[in-house]
């Protein structure tokens, strides 16, 4: 069963929506320049409202290792997703501070980028078109990736079936594709999940 991560959750009504449709992961963005930014305090409040079976992912961009480790170790987030220039040394140091899983995001512009991502020492990898800009990349570039990966970049209810049929990723990471006017749209979230579940059954 393909996993689903709904990223950029920032309101109580977003939590109520995901509790209804039960994706596998939700994402809190701790990058201050993002329009979907939440503070650690806000994330902690939202986490307490969240269904216990849904894992929380914290999205960071070149954040201080101690800050990331603290949010992991206190339970605000279950997984760290690194979206900046964090290298293997950074990941090793973070792993020394926590036993929680780490996702490293990679921008895929060529097959070489995909090969490089595949060699990451992170627990999981995320393949994206860019820095969370909601654009789709050429999925044929990742067909040789053997390890499980999160597919991100421009996913929405209109193209998710195509993604599942073409490349069968371990997980789908969606954000802007389930929004209306820059805010999460409960109806679009439900439609996205329904399509994924229906596709898995066929």
Would you state the structure tokens that stand for residue 108, as one six-digit string? 């895929």
Helix 40-49 vs helix 12-21: crossing angle, to nearest 10: 40
Catalytic residue among 7, 64, 123, 173: 7
Looking at beta carbons, which pairs linking 174-181 to residues 24 or more positions away fall under 8 Å? 174/4, 174/5, 174/6, 174/7, 175/6, 175/7, 175/8, 175/27, 175/36, 175/132, 175/134, 176/8, 176/134, 177/134, 178/6, 179/8
Where does residue 25 rank: exposed (0-12), middle (13-18), buried (19+ CB within 10 A)?
buried
Q: Is 74 a catalytic residue?
A: no
Q: What separation in angstroms does the CA of 60 have from each of 24, 26, 154, 197?
A: 19, 14, 19, 29
Q: Is 128 a catalytic residue?
A: yes
Residues 6 or more apart whose Cβ sits within 8 Å of residue 127: 105, 106, 108, 114, 117, 137, 142, 145, 149, 150, 151, 152, 153
Catalytic residue among 128, 138, 173, 185: 128
- Catalytic residue annotation: 7, 128
């Amino acid at each position: 069963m393909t996993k689903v991560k709904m990223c950029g959750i920032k309101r109580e009504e977003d939590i109520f929506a995901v509790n209804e449709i039960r994706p596998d992961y939700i994402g809190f963005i701790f990058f201050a320049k993002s329009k979907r930014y939440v503070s650690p305090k806000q994330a902690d409040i939202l986490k307490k409202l969240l269904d216990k079976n849904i894992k929380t992912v914290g999205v960071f961009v070149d954040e201080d290792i101690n800050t990331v480790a603290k949010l992991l170790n206190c339970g605000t987030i279950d997984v760290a997703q690194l979206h900046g220039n964090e290298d293997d040394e950074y990941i090793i140091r973070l792993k020394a501070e926590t036993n929680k899983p780490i996702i490293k995001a990679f921008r895929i512009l060529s097959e070489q980028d995909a090969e490089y991502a595949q060699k990451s020492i992170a627990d999981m990898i995320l393949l994206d078109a860019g820095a969370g800009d909601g654009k789709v990349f050429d999925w044929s570039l990742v067909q040789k990736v053997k390890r499980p990966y999160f597919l991100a970049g421009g996913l929405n209810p209109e193209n998710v079936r195509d993604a599942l049929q073409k490349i069968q990723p371990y997980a789908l990471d969606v954000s802007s594709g389930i929004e209306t006017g820059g805010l999460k749209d409960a109806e679009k979230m439900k439609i996205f999940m329904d399509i994924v579940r229906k596709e898995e059954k066929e």
